[in-house]
Amino acid sequence: MRKTADGQGELFWAEPGAGAAVWEFAVLVTSLDLEVRSLAQLYRDRADSENLFDELKNQWGWAGFTTRDFGRSQHMARLIALVYNWWTLFVRLADPDHHREAITSRPLLLHGVARQTRHAGQTRLTVTSSHGRRDRVVQALRTIAAFFAELQQTAEQLTLAERWSRILSYALRKYLHGRQLRSPPWLNPPEPTPTG
């Protein structure tokens, strides 16, 4: 702290004077009985969780729809969360090893023009990307298309719950390490009871 002519202390956080020694300190006070490495990991995990909420607020608009009508606000919050979940799963189908934020993944995967053509009983969708990194877009869309082409070969034999289980297992393969998710019970229709 420097002293001014009238004897007051002057804080110079923004622009330290020439030759001034500057230190930064961070203090963590906790009652947890953990070593420093474990504490640091807990802090990183917390930051990862906060980043998702930051992304929802700033890139998906979760903070910009408040009204005095709680029902409408709740409806919009749920709608944004649903779209966010769908988009996250879609991007995970292309790149299971990384979480891609919307600020980069949406322009990458949405800046394109698609054309649908039908010939000889087949429907073809041709996507032309206008993004500068279109090679990455081509690779991502080919990965997703290959997965759905493989799924389509057995989709008719599977129930709706089993199809969803396969899609989610593929999207979350980084975390599942090859395991297959079981179908949630609420997606399985109840077995008809025999009448007699």
Separation CA 38–CA 44 (nearest Å): 10
pLDDT tens-digit map of 8-39: 766 655 666 677 777 777 777 888 888 888 88
Using alpha carbons, select from 44, 46, 108 the residue that is nearest to residue 100. Answer: 108
Using alpha carbons, select from 80, 105, 103 the residue that is nearest to residue 91. Answer: 105
pTM: 0.64
Q: Which amino acid is residue 20, in one-letter code?
A: A
| Residues in the chain, overall count | 196
Task: Write down the mean pLDDT value for the chain.
Answer: 82
Beta-strand runs (E) in the chain: 2-3, 9-10, 112-119, 122-129
Confidence of residue 120 (pLDDT cuts 50, 70, 90): very high
Confidence of residue 99 (pLDDT cuts 50, 70, 90): confident
